[in-house]
Amino acid sequence: MHQPRNSAEICGIVADALAGGAKLEIGGGFTRADFGAPNRAAERLSLRNLSGIIEYDPAELVLTARAGTTLTELNAVVAARGQGFAFEPWGAAGSTIGGVIAAGVAGARRVSAGSVRDHLLGFEGVSGRGEVFKAGAKVVKNVTGYDLPKLVCGSWGRLVVMTEVTLKLLPRPPERLTLLWRGLADEAGFALMRQAMHQPADVAAAAHLPGQATLIRLDGFGPSVAARRAHLIAALAQYGTPEALGEAEAALFWAACLGGAALAPEPPLWRLSLPPRQALAAITPLLARGGQYVADWAGGLIWLTLAGHEETIRAQAEQAGGHATLARAPAEMRARIPALHPQAPGIEALSRRVRRAFDPLGVFETNRFLDEPNAD
Ligand SMILES: Cc1cc2nc3c(=O)[nH]c(=O)nc-3n(C[C@H](O)[C@H](O)[C@H](O)COP(=O)(O)OP(=O)(O)OC[C@H]3O[C@@H](n4cnc5c(N)ncnc54)[C@H](O)[C@@H]3O)c2cc1C
């Protein structure tokens, strides 16, 4: 495993790999090394030694850190100043901010605050040519050049080794209140989430745990939260009176939604990204085949466990205008089913051209996604 301490050492590692025809698998905490095809013939390039905060300006709500800094460390530092990442990144212990950005991770508040790509202001990295480059800026207002920070979010280590990242922060809401309706049927749970999102109540997050709970979260200052709570309870009276939970009481319910944590760990886990209005209809045939799920982002994100039926899962997601990612599965299944939803031919050709621009010889192509046997 390569463990460089700076960009210059990464450039050297990339140059050696290019010269020797080796492939490099970039990683931070490697907590998702089991994502995608197994048995990749690649040398690991760990960002673990590129760790630490470079600059943090609480007054400007901007932070620059090395990409291998753990989420735990970052969250602790910004929380001590009453701030946080509005997109609520999450991951297993050891997850790094570079891994979170490359995996395009966001938590429950994504539905109201946007995703990681809405909060990454800039980055520095090393391309597949072995060259250091910068994109974006350390200020919120920046309008020059291509918006490369958007491109690296969800790039899964295929474009660039991020070495430094600059992110926007927000003050932590002083109050977080969760309204919880117990035991609503699926149709009612989805309808409630949809109606809540359309109310002038600035809903922060909305989730449905089938058979258990439908959750609506309100973030903000006390009097504002109280007024919005009263409004929502009246507007959603047809679903019954909800319980009101404080942040600590509600934490277990929200944690159950993250990464499908509430679901049995044995069957393959899928992550479906769907238009909320179509989500329930899209998954109903999958539930009839034994699927279990939890819904987050007001129905826009479905974590589903179901053995077999891979083609049906992908077809249902596609027909609804969404896509299905194979988030967790045995190695045998990951060897034959691409983790990421196959793209339409035109989009796939475009993605390939973008990858070639950053990585002409395919040094970051490890065949993890079963769509890149050779760099052309
Ligand atoms: C579909 C999906 C499923 C998930 N499932 C889980 C889960 O089951 N459990 C869980 O805890 N979290 C899960 N997450 C959350 C997420 O994977 C982690 O929070 C985060 O990616 C882990 O950070 P890491 O440093 O360990 O990443 P790693 O596992 O090291 O890397 C993740 C990806 O990011 C790339 N990468 C890492 N660092 C860099 C860098 N500096 N520059 C460029 N690319 C980089 C890697 O090549 C890899 O493709 C999931 C996210 C998604 C989108």
Q: pLDDT of 119-134, one tens digit each?
A: 999 999 999 999 999 9
Between CA 61 and CA 169 the distance in angstroms is: 5
Residue 59 lies in a domain: yes
Residues 151 and 195 in one domain: no
How many whole angstroms from 105 Cα to the centroid of ligand 1? 8
Distance CA 188, CA 183 (A): 10
In a domain, 359, yes or no: no
- Residue 349 forms part of a structural domain: no
- Going by CA atoms, what residue is nearest to atom 7 of ligand 1? 259
Is 179 inside any structural domain? Answer: yes
Residue 163 belongs to a domain with what CATH number?
3.30.465.10
Out of 139, 171, 203, pick the residue that ends a domain: 171
Looking at the fold, whether 45 and 185 belong to one and the same domain comes out as no
Q: Is residue 13 part of a domain?
A: yes
pLDDT tens, position by position, 143-186: 566 789 999 999 999 999 999 999 999 999 999 999 999 999 99
Please tell me whether residues 141 and 153 are part of one structural domain. Answer: yes
pTM score, two decimals? 0.95
CA 188 to ligand 1 center in whole angstroms = 34
d(CA 134, CA 116): 18
Q: Are residues 126 and 58 in the same domain?
A: yes
Mean pLDDT of the chain: 95
Please check whether residues 195 and 207 belong to one and the same domain: yes
Domain count, the chain: 3
Tell me: the pLDDT tens digits for 14-42? 999 999 999 999 999 999 999 999 988 89
Q: Is residue 362 part of a domain?
A: no
Nearest protein Cα to ligand 1, atom 45:
157
Whole-number Å distance, alpha carbon 31 to ligand 1 midpoint, is: 6
d(CA 41, CA 368): 9
> Do both 140 and 195 map to the same domain?
no
Measured by CA distance, the residue closest to atom 22 of ligand 1 is: 95
Indicate the length of the chain as a whole number.
376
With the most atoms of ligand 1 within 8 angstroms of its CB, the residue from 5, 6, 9, 31 to mutate is 31
For residues 193 and 119, state if they share a domain.
Answer: no
Domain end position, chosen among 142, 171, 200: 171
| Distance of alpha carbon 138 from alpha carbon 339, whole angstroms | 33
Whether residues 65 and 185 share a domain: the answer is no
Ligand 1 site: residues with CB under 6 angstroms?
26-33, 47, 67, 90-92, 94-96, 98-100, 102-105, 156-157, 161-162, 259, 271, 325, 327-328
For residue 327, tell me if it sits in a domain. Answer: yes
Residue 40 is predicted with a pLDDT of 85
Q: Which residues make beta-bridge pairs with 302?
A: 272, 295
Cβ contacts of 251 within 8 Å, gap of 6 or more: none
Q: Whose CA is nearest to atom 18 of ligand 1?
A: 91
Are 209 and 273 part of one and the same domain?
no
Say how many Å lie between the CA of residue 152 and the centre of ligand 1: 13
pLDDT at res. 375: 45
DSSP-derived secondary structure for 165-221: EEEE-EEPPSEEEEEEEES--HHHHHHHHHHHHHSTT---EEEEETTTEEEEEEEE-
Q: How confident is the model at residue 376 (pLDDT cuts 50, 70, 90)?
A: very low
Domain region containing 240: 175-258
Atom of ligand 1 nearest to the CA of 159: 43
Protein residue whose Cα sits closest to atom 37 of ligand 1: 99
Residue whose structure tokens are 């196959």: 342
pLDDT at 293: 98
Q: Are residues 230 and 282 in the same domain?
A: no
Q: Mark which of 225, 258, 291 sits at the end of a domain.
A: 258
User: Mind listing the pLDDT tens digit for each residue in 228-270?
Assistant: 999 999 999 999 999 999 999 999 999 999 999 999 998 899 9
Question: Does 312 lie in the same domain as 230?
Answer: no
**DSSP class of residue 84?**
E
**CATH number for the domain including 197?**
3.30.70.3450
Same domain flag for 130 and 78: yes
- Per-residue confidence band for 371, with pLDDT thresholds at 50, 70 and 90: confident
Q: Are 282 and 276 in contact (CB under 8 A)?
A: no
